[in-house]
Amino acid sequence: MSKYNLFEGYGIEIEYMIVDAETYKVTPVADMLLSKLAGEPVSEYSEDGLGYSNELVKHVIELKTDGPAKSLEHLANQFHKGVQRVSEILKDMNCILMPTAMHPFMVPEKETQLWQDESAEIYETYDRIFNCKGHGWSNLQSVHINLPFAGDEQFRRLHAAIRPILPIIPALAASSPIVEREVTGILDNRLAFYRKNQRTVPEVAGSIIPERVYTEAEYNKDIF
């Protein structure tokens, strides 16, 4: 059981693409960035309450809370300082961070470089099963919000509250109308690709909006 009750801790993870400062092409230097942050080759580094880590591909860096944060109040400033810290290092590489849900003109089949250092076998296995050199895999970035619960009553309340919010989030956060320089008519192409990118093993994604369950055991059995 979690030692945190509802809203006693928050885990926030934000992914950013690293791109060339002039051409905006994705630039696979996350390994060099992490090494410069830590002063040695690493896949993960923590500093001033923030964690910095690799992702599936070498052009993405993740910033995250270093463990559960007790409040959301100061996290915006904390992440802003982390972005500034990373940006200063990237300046020497003629690179910048790019936000939004996916890159508007990246061609994943040609530009993808999977992470090759620690835990590379995990990413290679994903690539073998799902072919990660595509939109929704290597051309994708997102924000993760992790919320704790303690016991089935808190789980029931949290799960019930999250389900109706999930369909609204894409409408509020849509930021990927362009794919490989083409305006597709879809405002959230990230989600459109994400819906299909695990069709080889569809159980991984399920119905996206999870089924109604009322206990952690039901969740593990029927969803997870």
User: By the 8 A CB rule, do 86 and 20 touch?
Assistant: no
Closest C-alpha among 10, 19, 9 to residue 141: 19
pLDDT of residue 27: 98
pLDDT of residue 116: 86
User: By the 8 A CB rule, do 150 and 75 touch?
Assistant: no
Instruction: Between 111 and 210, name the one with better pLDDT.
Output: 111
What's the whole-model pTM score?
Answer: 0.91
- Around Cβ 113, how many Cβ atoms within 10 Å? 16
- Provide the pLDDT confidence category of residue 22 given band limits of 50, 70 and 90: very high
